[in-house]
Amino acid sequence: MMTVPINPAEVEFSAIRAQGPGGQNVNKVSCAVHARFDIAASSLPDAVKTRLLALRDSRITQAGVVVLKAQQSRSLEQNKEDAMRRLQALVDSAAEVPLVRRPTRPTRGSQRRRLDEKTRSGQVKALRGKISE
C-alpha cells in the first residue's frame, strides 16, 4: 500500500458542537471537528489529485474540497487525529494505481468444449418433445 504524506498545514480544522447524546457536555463544549482539505491547492502528486477528484464520494464537494466530520471522542485533539487518520486513508486509497484489465481470448479447446456442450444439451431438449407414431 502506497502512502502519500499529507501536509497538516493544508488541512483546515474548525471546532463545532457535536450531535447526539452527551448532556451538558454536548450543549456547551465544541469538541467535534470539521476538517477541510482542498485537493487542487494541495501538494499531492497530480496523479493522486486526479484520482481523488474522480472518486464518487459524498465527502468530496463539487469544488474539490474533502470535508470530514469527526465527533467520536469528547476530546478536540483526538477528533483532529481521527479526522487526519481518515483523510490519510482516503488519500492512500486514491494513491494506489488500479490494475489495467487486459482482455484475453478463449482457447480453442475451451471453445470446442463449449460448443460440444451446447450441442449435447440441444439433443437432450429435442428428445423431450412429443413422440409421434
pLDDT tens, residue by residue, 5-20: 898 899 999 998 888 7
For residues 67 and 52, what is the distance between their CA atoms, to the nearest angstrom?
13
Report the distance separating Cα 5 and Cα 87, nearest Å. Answer: 10
Q: What is the pLDDT of residues 34-67, one digit of tens each?
A: 999 999 899 999 999 999 999 898 999 999 999 9
Which percentage of the chain shows pLDDT scores above 90? 61
Task: Give one DSSP letter per residue of 29-60, joined into a string.
Answer: ---EEEEEEESTTS-S-HHHHHHHHHS--TTB
Q: Global pTM?
A: 0.71
